[in-house]
Amino acid sequence: MSVSEAAAQASVPPDALDGLSLPERVALLRSRMAAVPSRGETASVRIENSAPVRPRPTDPDSDPESDVVDSSEQVSVPTRRRPVLPVPSALMEVLPHGGLVRGTVASVSGAGSLLIGLVAAVTGAGGHVAVIGQPRFGLLAAVEMGAQLSKLALIPDPGPDPVEVAAILLDGVDLVVLGLGGLSVPPTRARAVVARARSKGSTLVVTDGHWDGAELRLDASVHGYDGLGTGRELGRGRLRGVRLSVCARGKAMRPRTVRFDLRAENGRIEWHAEQQESNPLSIAVST
């Protein structure tokens, strides 16, 4: 069986999820993933913390205001043009649509706080997230940022073909985070997965590798800490916050860099915009 035939067999039609309970939907996606062969063998996928999944809108470019949105069932944030998944509130100003656009692929690199914040924002709003190939994903940090672990599925070891696992999970999960482990995905295959994400209305975030054609690229770096003292007291004290710099580049936006303070407040880690830096109109984008 060819890869294309296997992908077609593993695909879950949108109406196949209708009328099923949440556990039944998870079981259906599991069976589809287990049926995907890789290099002539069947690749099984183990989900340690299964999360309920829902069918998503099939047209990510539709007007979100034309439909009645039930906040208990939908996590799309209405925008002027395209439906999006929520992000930390301070990060909304950096993104052209105020969130992660449904049906697209984004690339995230650098400091792990950014990726954790994205997962926390989506699950905290009731959306479902699958994290693939990230065995050291910071669950405690995610909870401190407001994540709901019941909405999060972890797949630390997806087997020999993590891209295929991600493609299948796009059928029923709002956000799929794919750790590539340093791999570079061929452009032809990347385009096929992008088309799948678009048709399902789900969002794919890739990290730790190269993905051609990502609509949005976010890079985060730590540029300071609060609470560790200064001068002779440098390195002493208690860490109270982290200063993070996030650079956003995309096909439909000018590059922008914004700094954030991540501080503990009322038992949670909150994002606060520090300042915004001006960027030239054109800049080389590193892939």
Residues 74-104 pLDDT 10s:
454 443 568 999 999 989 988 988 999 999 9
* DSSP calls for the chain: --HHHHHHHH---GGGGTT--HHHHHHHHHHHHHT-EETTEEPP---SS--------S-TTS-GGGS---TTT--PBP-SSS-EE---GGGGGGSTTSSEETT-EEEEEE-HHHHHHHHHHHHHTT--EEEES-TT--HHHHHHTT--GGGEEEES---S-HHHHHHHHTTT-SEEEEE-TT-EE-HHHHHHHHHHHHHHT-EEEEESSEETT-SEEEEEEEEEEESS-SGGGTT-S---EEEEEEEEEETTEEEEEEEEEEEEETTEEEEEEEEEE---S--PPP-
Please state which CATH number belongs to domain 3-220. 3.40.50.300
pTM score, whole prediction:
0.69
Residues 229-254 pLDDT 10s:
555 555 555 666 788 999 999 987 88
**Domain segments of the chain as ranges:** 3-220
Per-residue pLDDT tens, the chain, 287 aa: give them.
Answer: 443 444 445 555 556 666 665 556 666 776 766 655 443 343 333 334 444 444 455 444 544 443 433 434 445 444 356 899 999 998 998 898 899 999 999 999 999 999 999 999 999 999 999 999 999 999 999 999 999 999 999 999 999 999 999 999 999 999 999 999 999 999 999 999 999 999 999 999 999 999 988 999 999 999 877 766 555 555 555 666 788 999 999 987 889 999 999 988 888 899 988 754 444 333 343 43
